[in-house]
Amino acid sequence: MTTATRNAPTQTEVLAPMSTELCDQAEEYLREAQGDVSQRSAEIRPERGDEFVLTPHIEELAGRALAYLGAGFPINLEGVPGTGKTTVALYVAERIGRPVSMIHGDDQFTSADLVGSDRGYRKSKSIDNFIHSVIKTSEEARQLWVDNRLTIAVCEGHTLIYDEFTRSRPEANNVLLSVLSEGLLNLPRRRHADEGYLRAHPEFRAIFTCNPLEYAGVHRGQDALLDRMIPVRMDDFDRETEVAITVAKSGISEQDAGRIVDVVRHFREHDGYSHRPSVRAAIVIAKVTAYLDGKCDPNDPAFVRTCVDALGLEEPSKDPHVKRLSPKQVQEEIRKLWSKS
């Protein structure tokens, strides 16, 4: 009797099929590698710079926001442009002390831009030639899911800052409803672990900002979404804060900053102008004046011209009965204003 011996197949002859468990492990490893890159790109650590100004007005506002967030409620900082919504949001996030995931609203956003989507494929092929006369092949292609910033924030317990969230279409923000109410993020297409939902990390917090509805490019937010937030109205800063901000941003003297802020606040109260100047206008006037090595003087034509341009006084008025002011009239207004100080 002869005994037949079977030679072990060489690597070129056989590619043993990878087990399902190993496939899942390899896919998980690749997903985590991609997720690490995505997470690093989405995560920021806000830090106050030298130009940041902390006044009692800002401290009181931040204190309220921190109390609401600490109790587990998302907040919505709403107000006209130039009232410091994003700056305050970043300061509050810094006070919380967690990593920050930041999203800027966009009209082209879909839910995938918030939670993630399938990006690319993983393809595996196995050839079984254990019996030389029989060749078995099998192929498998699986889509790879990559998390976006909302999913990362929910998983990792980041502070989410969704800046100008009403610039995104309401349907794109529907995914936020369950996150803000039940603490669950529905992900029916999250392939890598066949998960249908994610439970929010205990440290997850959400800060939203938005402009008023009448501003261009702003969508009306869903009532159901707005009902899940605590609105924190942000009006113009008080004079002390605006002066401190102008000094910090431009380096001019406090006296000159006070005069410039008074000019901006004076013209801010005028009705009918298409542009409502904020503290940004004071910063512009102060910086340009400092750059030109000029003086905050109504007798200086360059200073007056800068005020006219920065305040938007020559832009068409919303009210046809409101006449635009000439540089000479602006000069007289500034003189009258400063004569009272």
**What is the DSSP-derived secondary structure letter of residue 165?**
G
Number of other CB atoms surrounding residue 113 within 10 Å: 16
Number of other CB atoms surrounding residue 190 within 10 Å: 20
What residues have CB less than 8 Å from 46, skipping those under 6 apart? 90, 91, 93, 94, 100
* pLDDT value, residue 30: 47
Would you say the C-alpha torsion 76, 181, 168, 89 has a positive or negative sign? positive
* pLDDT value, residue 64: 96
Tell me the β-bridge partners of 10.
none
* pLDDT value, residue 191: 46
Number of other CB atoms surrounding residue 116 within 10 Å: 21
Please report, for the chain, the start and end positions of each structural domain, with discontinuous segments joined by +.
20-233, 239-339
How many whole angstroms separate alpha carbon 102 and alpha carbon 85?
14
* pLDDT value, residue 333: 83
In CATH, the number for domain 20-233 is 3.40.50.300
How many whole angstroms separate alpha carbon 310 and alpha carbon 82?
13
* pLDDT value, residue 147: 81
Per-residue pLDDT of the chain (341 residues; tens, 9 = 90+): 433 333 433 333 333 344 445 445 545 554 555 444 445 455 778 778 778 888 999 999 999 999 999 999 999 999 988 889 999 999 999 999 999 999 999 999 888 888 876 566 566 666 666 666 667 666 666 666 678 899 899 989 999 999 999 999 999 999 999 999 999 988 766 544 556 788 899 999 999 999 888 777 888 888 999 999 999 999 889 999 999 999 999 999 999 999 999 999 988 887 655 578 899 999 999 999 999 998 898 888 899 999 988 988 776 566 666 666 777 888 888 888 877 76
* pLDDT value, residue 125: 62
Q: Classify burial at 160, counting beta carbons within 10 Å of its beta carbon; exposed 0-12, middle 13-18, buried 19 or more.
A: buried
Query: Strand, helix or coil at 114?
Result: helix
